[in-house]
Amino acid sequence: MKVFRAILTILGCALIVLGGYSAVTFLMQRDFAPVQEPTVEAPQPAEPEQPEETPEEPTQPAEDPELEARHSRAQEILRDMSLEEKIYQLMFVRPEAITGVDQVTVAGQTTQDSLGRCPVGGLVYRADNLESEDQAKELLEKTAAYLEDGGQIAPFLGVFDDGSETSPVAGDLAGETLDSFATVGHSGSGGQAEQLGKDLGKTLADYRFNVNLAAGAELSSDRSDCFSAAGEEAAMMVSSYVTGLQSENVAAVLAHFPGEGAAENGVCDKAEEELRQSDLLPFTAGIEAGAAIIQVSNMTATELDTAPCCLSSAVITDLLRDSLGFTGVILTDPLGGQTISAQYDEAEAAILALNAGADMLYELNDPEGVYTAILSAIQNGELTEERIDESVTRILCAKLQLQIIES
């Protein structure tokens, strides 16, 4: 029995020892097992920030210092002008319209008084005003002097002269024999067109004329005052002619926009794109050559507007100004003529033309009546003085460019 107890005692001690060892081992394994470090991903290099693309500024054409100087000078002159003077500056009329004389051949007291009352921006003469070299020169010299000596703006003095044998100045007065526009056109020579412009310019300037209403810009094969019926050929000739004429400080007037060669009985039914490929080509070339004045036709271009072209903002502002980029003086066709007077009162037509974007009103029958109507339109808000100022500024810039007024 004692032996049995001893064996049990030994076995119990052994179990205790083994249990303690197991517990210690467990604890050691738990407390001292290698710690697994948390996996940390290496930081990836940041993508370099792409600079935001700055849209390129559109390249602005360099300002022409001469243009800036003329515009600045025109603004100075404008500031010193009364509203009455500005309104009359818009008128380009026959001398008979302001004097009431049937046929003006001398510039005497009546002319002086009339210009004091109506200091118009331009006067246009015909063959019946010009009788001889001496008479014509005296007529224009005195007319210009009356305005300048009276503190007014020197006028445009215009004539239609294509250099032909029967033309009022080069042919009748000077007795020169110049090639006709058509003859020069047939030659295909831009050099001859430029020389024709220079020769005409010298002759006209000698008589004190500073505007020529003949420029051959319309397309025709049977008129002596047109270069060609082909748009591209006429364009080359017009460009060269404008360069030659204006080199003598005589303004070229491109007429009759957008091209009466495309009209039948005063109506043109060509679409704008068709006009651009033909009749507009000489005008575009003339604009690029620096033509000072464009005269807008009284025909109706039905695909552009239902109103006569010279009263249409679609033709004058949208097409000629905005689309073709013309910045010079825009002259109407005769507002006192039968085409316009059949549909409109002259004063009404004048206000419509100015609101459409025209700068000068051509061949009015009653300048004083039109003046009163324009003044009234400004006073009642139908027309703004700012619109008048825009046109007068263009007129003054053209006169400065042609050295009609001093800079």
What are the tens digits of pLDDT across the range 55-74? Answer: 444 444 456 888 999 999 99
- The pLDDT score that the predictor gives to residue 64 is 83
* Number of residues written out for the chain: 407
* Residue 288 exposure: Cα atoms within 13 Å on the Cβ side: 12
Query: Does 8 have pLDDT greater than 70?
Result: no
Structural tokens at position 225: 């005052």
Query: Does 26 have pLDDT greater than 60?
Result: no
Adjacent-strand bridge partners of 92:
122, 362
Cβ-contact 282, 234 below 8 angstroms: yes
Query: Does 6 have pLDDT greater than 70?
Result: no
Query: Does 18 have pLDDT greater than 50?
Result: no
What are the tens digits of pLDDT across the range 252-276? Answer: 999 999 998 888 889 999 999 999 9
Cβ-contact 141, 210 below 8 angstroms: no
Helix (H, G, I), strand (E, B) or coil at 349: helix
**Residue 31 located in a structural domain:** no
Nearest to 121 by CA among 405, 406, 407: 405
Give the integer Cα–Cα distance in Å for 370 and 362: 12
Helices (H), 33-94: 65-79, 83-89
Nearest to 89 by CA among 311, 367, 322, 285: 367
Cβ-contact 89, 121 below 8 angstroms: yes
List of residues 6+ apart from 237 with CB closer than 8 A:
181, 184, 185, 190, 193, 216, 227, 228, 282
Q: Which domain holds residue 288?
A: 68-401
Give me the CATH number covering residue 345: 3.20.20.300
Q: Indicate the number of domains in the chain.
A: 1
**Residue 387 located in a structural domain:** yes
Give the integer Cα–Cα distance in Å for 66 and 73: 11
Query: Does 25 have pLDDT greater than 50?
Result: no
**Residue 63 located in a structural domain:** no
- The pLDDT score that the predictor gives to residue 20 is 43
**Residue 97 located in a structural domain:** yes
What are the tens digits of pLDDT across the range 175-198? Answer: 988 999 999 999 999 999 999 999
Residue 16's pLDDT band (boundaries 50, 70, 90)?
Answer: very low
What are the tens digits of pLDDT across the range 94-104? Answer: 999 999 999 99
Give the integer Cα–Cα distance in Å for 177 and 188: 20
Nearest to 190 by CA among 218, 228, 161: 228
Adjacent-strand bridge partners of 264:
267
Buried b vs exposed e over 120-139: b needs ≥16 C-beta within 10 Å? bbbbbbebebbeeeeebeeb
Distance of CA 360 to the CA centre of its chain: 15
**Residue 354 located in a structural domain:** yes
Cβ-contact 219, 173 below 8 angstroms: no
- The pLDDT score that the predictor gives to residue 60 is 46
- The pLDDT score that the predictor gives to residue 49 is 54
Query: Does 324 have pLDDT greater than 90?
Result: yes
Burial (CB < 10 A; 0-12, 13-18, 19+), residue 31, is exposed
**Residue 349 located in a structural domain:** yes
Nearest to 112 by CA among 80, 78, 141: 141
- The pLDDT score that the predictor gives to residue 40 is 46
Nearest to 228 by CA among 265, 273, 185: 185
Give the integer Cα–Cα distance in Å for 317 and 352: 13
**Residue 255 located in a structural domain:** yes
Lowest mean pLDDT among 230-234, 257-261, 297-301, 309-313: 257-261
